């Protein structure tokens, strides 16, 4: 776990996602905030809380009886959200094809990340 400004997060190690991020950044770089210019895959556990609350959560996850010891999962696509004055609104979901699903940082069908389909302007809009 790691402390954020007003919350707690968990690092996510998803190698194929780095190439997807680079592709999207190349296309949408001018629209990204400073915070979104670099790739830091993570799960936000807690956000926008007082520092004492975040510190307690961090300690519980790191060394408490319910400490987080890792997990695995499957990424089935990307979702595009609009952030507007503290609220997130889902704008669009871009599912991956069933044979190109990322599972446990590898593709189910065994293809290397260089073989992922392009997320070019034809499949995503600014």
Structure confidence by residue, pLDDT tens digits, 7-52: 999 888 777 888 888 988 998 889 888 888 888 888 888 998 999 9
Q: What is the pLDDT of residue 111?
A: 39
How does residue 107 score in pLDDT terms, banded at 50, 70 and 90?
A: very low
C-alpha to C-alpha distance for 24 and 124, rounded to whole angstroms: 9
- In angstroms, the Cα distances linking 52 to 8, 44, 45, 49, 76 are 11, 17, 15, 8, 35
* pTM score above 0.85: no
Q: What is the pLDDT of residue 124?
A: 38
Q: What is the pLDDT of residue 99?
A: 56
Q: Does the pLDDT at position 126 exceed 60?
A: no
C-alpha to C-alpha distance for 113 and 116, rounded to whole angstroms: 5
Q: What is the pLDDT of residue 97?
A: 73
């Amino acid at each position: 776990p790691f402390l954020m400004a007003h919350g707690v997060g968990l690092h996510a190690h998803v190698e194929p996602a780095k190439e997807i991020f680079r592709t999207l950044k190349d296309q949408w770089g001018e629209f990204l905030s400073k915070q979104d210019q670099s790739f830091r895959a993570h799960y936000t556990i807690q956000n926008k809380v007082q520092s004492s609350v975040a510190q307690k959560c961090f300690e519980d996850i790191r060394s408490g009886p319910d400490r987080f010891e890792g997990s695995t999962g499957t990424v089935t696509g990307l979702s595009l959200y609009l952030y507007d004055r503290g609220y997130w609104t889902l704008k669009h979901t871009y599912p991956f094809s069933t044979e190109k699903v990322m599972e446990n940082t590898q593709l189910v069908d065994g293809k290397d990340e260089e073989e992922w389909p392009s997320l070019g302007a034809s499949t995503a809009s600014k």
